């Protein structure tokens, strides 16, 4: 059974959701993991506090305390695509993540994620992702290689001082002329059911993207997307809001039945560029992936 050698961490809520113990909270926090699995993990000493002391079945919920546990799965699929390191120095590493590869452990993936692959190939056990991409999205991901400066790069993303550029392909009507047109999308995005999906709801906008069309063919168009904010699935929802859901999206506009990955039909979304002022060196940084999404020209 694959098990991670690196702990995942979880901050307990400030407001008690109506449970007495850590075990009870883990069970409601992760509804897709059987309660008996959490019983066994705790009994096996695989759940502990920040100071390393073990959490037991009777351990009471402590507001805002950190809980550490180790992901394990019955079996783990292999992702047959390779990552590539574009840049590395004493503070950061920038890598290309292929479609279908998770950035960090999650769900049925423990070892098959970009972070663990890079830790293995570089020998940097403290390497840590500074942001996330959806597993089905390809493109650039930045990692911290130095715990001493990590907080300064985290602040880049928290303060929205990093400019991201994506590309996406969507199907369009043959009578639409979209090249060079631009759209500013602002709306409110919140979780819906199931919890891994998001939806646009009435209310004050909490998401903002700028989208323009670069190319089009008979039935498809290539778009450039610049997210100003970073809500979960923001670009996927904003393309849907414009009437052009991203090609091969299994979540939007309709949730598709659960199935194995179709490696021949990846989500047509690519994290193309990262542009920022380096908070340590004060240099202007521009990292770009040289590959492109390709229209189906007919």
Q: What is the pLDDT of residues 175-208, one digit of tens each?
A: 889 999 999 999 999 999 888 899 999 999 999 9
Q: Are residues 55 and 94 in the same domain?
A: no
Q: What pLDDT is recorded for position 110? A: 80
The half-sphere exposure of 53 on its side-chain side, counting CA atoms within 13 A, is 4
Residue 298: band (very low, low, confident or very high) from pLDDT cuts 50, 70, 90? very low
Q: Are residues 106 and 131 in the same domain?
A: yes
Q: What pLDDT is recorded for position 2? A: 63
Question: From CA 240, how far away is CA 48, in angstroms rounded?
Answer: 42
Q: Domain span at residue 65?
A: 8-69
List pLDDT tens digits, range 222-279: 999 999 999 999 999 999 999 999 999 999 999 999 889 999 999 999 999 999 999 9
**DSSP-based three-state secondary structure for 269:** strand
Question: What is the rounded average pLDDT for all residues in the chain?
Answer: 93
Q: Are residues 21 and 157 in the same domain?
A: no
Split into its structural domains, the chain has a count of 2
The half-sphere exposure of 209 on its side-chain side, counting CA atoms within 13 A, is 28
The half-sphere exposure of 51 on its side-chain side, counting CA atoms within 13 A, is 2
Contact between 141 and 97 (Cβ < 8 Å) = yes
The region that residue 95 occupies, defined by phi over 0 for left and psi between -120 and 50 for alpha, beta otherwise, is beta
Among 110, 104, 111, smallest CA distance to 131 is for 104
Residue 291: band (very low, low, confident or very high) from pLDDT cuts 50, 70, 90? confident
Residue 7: band (very low, low, confident or very high) from pLDDT cuts 50, 70, 90? confident
- What pTM was computed for the model? 0.82
Q: Are residues 158 and 203 in the same domain?
A: yes
């Amino acid at each position: 059974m694959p098990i991670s050698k690196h702990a995942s961490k979880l901050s307990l809520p400030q407001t008690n959701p109506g449970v007495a113990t850590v075990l009870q909270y883990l069970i409601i926090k992760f509804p897709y993991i059987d309660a008996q699995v959490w019983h066994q993990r705790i009994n096996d000493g695989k759940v502990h506090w920040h100071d390393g002391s073990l959490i037991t079945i009777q351990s009471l919920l402590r507001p805002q305390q950190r809980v550490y546990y180790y992901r394990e799965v019955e079996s783990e699929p292999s992702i047959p695509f390779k990552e590539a390191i574009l840049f590395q120095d004493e503070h950061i590493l920038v890598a290309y993540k292929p479609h279908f590869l998770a950035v960090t452990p999650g769900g049925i993936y423990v070892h098959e994620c970009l972070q663990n692959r890079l830790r293995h190939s570089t020998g940097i056990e403290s390497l840590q992702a500074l942001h996330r991409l959806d597993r089905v999205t390809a493109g650039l991901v930045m990692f911290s290689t130095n715990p001493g400066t990590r907080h300064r790069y985290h602040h880049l993303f928290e303060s929205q001082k990093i400019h991201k550029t994506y590309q996406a392909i969507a199907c369009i009507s043959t009578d639409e002329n979209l090249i060079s047109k631009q759209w500013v999308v602002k709306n409110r995005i919140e979780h819906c059911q199931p919890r891994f999906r998001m939806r646009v709801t009435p209310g004050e906008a909490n998401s903002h993207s700028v989208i323009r069309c670069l190319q089009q063919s008979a039935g498809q168009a290539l778009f450039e997307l610049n997210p100003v904010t970073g809500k979960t699935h923001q670009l996927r929802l904003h393309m849907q809001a414009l009437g052009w859901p991203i090609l091969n999206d299994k979540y939007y506009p309709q949730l598709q039945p659960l199935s194995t990955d179709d490696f021949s039909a990846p989500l047509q979304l690519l994290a193309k560029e990262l542009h920022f002022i380096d908070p340590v060196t004060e240099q202007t940084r521009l990292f770009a992936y040289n590959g492109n999404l390709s229209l189906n020209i007919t």
